[in-house]
Structure 1
Amino acid sequence: MTERRHHRPSLPGAHHFEEIEGAVDPARLTEAADRTATALVRGARGDVDQQLVDRVVHLADSEGLETLAELWAGAPSDSLAGAVWRLYLLRAWVYADPRTAAEEFDLGRAHVPVSEVVSGVVVPPGPDEVRRLVDEVLGGVVVGDFADTLFRAAAFARVAAAGRAHAPGSEAVSGSSYASDISAARLLTLADQLQHAGRLELEGTLG
Structure 2
Amino acid sequence: MHSGSGSIISSRSSFTHTGSPRPARPGQLDPALADSLASDVDPERLSEISHTTAWALLNHVHTTNDPAVVERVLTLVDHEGVDVIAELWSHAEPDSLPGVLWRLYLLRTWMRKQRDSIAHLWRLGEPVATSASAIAGVDPAPTEDDIARIADAILAGAFRGDFAVALERAAAFVTIVSLGLRAQAHQFTQRADSSGVGISLSNADIKQLRTQAAQMLHTAANLTVTAKDFRHGAALWRQGKLE
TM-score band w.r.t. shorter chain = 0.7 to 0.9
Q: Is the 8 A contact 2:126 2:140 kept in 1?
A: no
Q: Would you say 1:162 and 2:179 are equivalent positions? A: yes
CA distance in 1, matches of 2:110, 2:155: 13
Which residue of structure 1 aligns with residue 21 of structure 2?
A: none
CA deviation digits over 1:42-86, x for unaligned, max 9?
Answer: 333233343232112110111110111121111111000100011
RMSD across aligned positions (CA): 2.3
- 1:190 paired with 2:226, answer yes
Q: Which residue of 1 aligns with 2:44?
A: 27
**Structure 2 residue ranges without an equivalent (≥5):** 1-36, 194-209
- Residue 140 of structure 1 aligns to a residue in which SS? helix
The answer to whether the 8 Å contact 1:68/1:85 transfers is yes
Counterparts of residues 1-207 of structure 1 (less than 5 Å): 24-110=41-127, 113-167=130-184, 169-171=187-189, 177-207=213-243
The residue that corresponds to 1:11 in the other structure is: none
Tell me the alpha carbon deviations over residues 79-99 of structure 1, each in whole angstroms, 9 at most, x when there is no partner.
Answer: 001000110111121122110
Match of 1:13 in 2: none
Q: Under a length normalisation based on structure 2, what TM-score does the superposition of the two structures give?
A: 0.70
Contact kept in structure 2, 1:111 and 1:163, CA below 8 Å? no
Q: 1:197 to 1:112 in 2, by over 3 A?
A: farther
1:84 partner letter: L
1:166 aligns to what SS in structure 2? helix
Q: Report the Cα offset of residue 22 of structure 1.
A: 8.1
Measured in 2, the distance between the counterparts of 1:170 and 1:75 equals 36
Write the letter of the residue equivalent to 2:167. Answer: L
Q: Is the 8 A contact 1:112 1:159 kept in 2?
A: no
- Look up the SS of the partner of 2:223 in the other structure: helix
Question: Does the residue aligned with 1:45 lie in a helix, a strand or coil?
Answer: helix
TM-score (norm 1): 0.82
Q: Is the CA contact (8 Å cut-off) linking 1:111 and 1:159 kept in structure 2?
A: no
In structure 1, stretches of 5+ residues that fail to align are 1-19
TM-superposed deviation, 1:141: 2.5
Aligned residues between the structures? 187
Distance of 1:41 and 1:170 partners within structure 2: 42
What is the distance in 2 between the residues matched to 1:112 and 1:186?
24
CA distance 1:56–1:179, shift in 2 (3 Å): same
1:37 touches 1:80 (CA, 8 Å); kept in 2?
yes
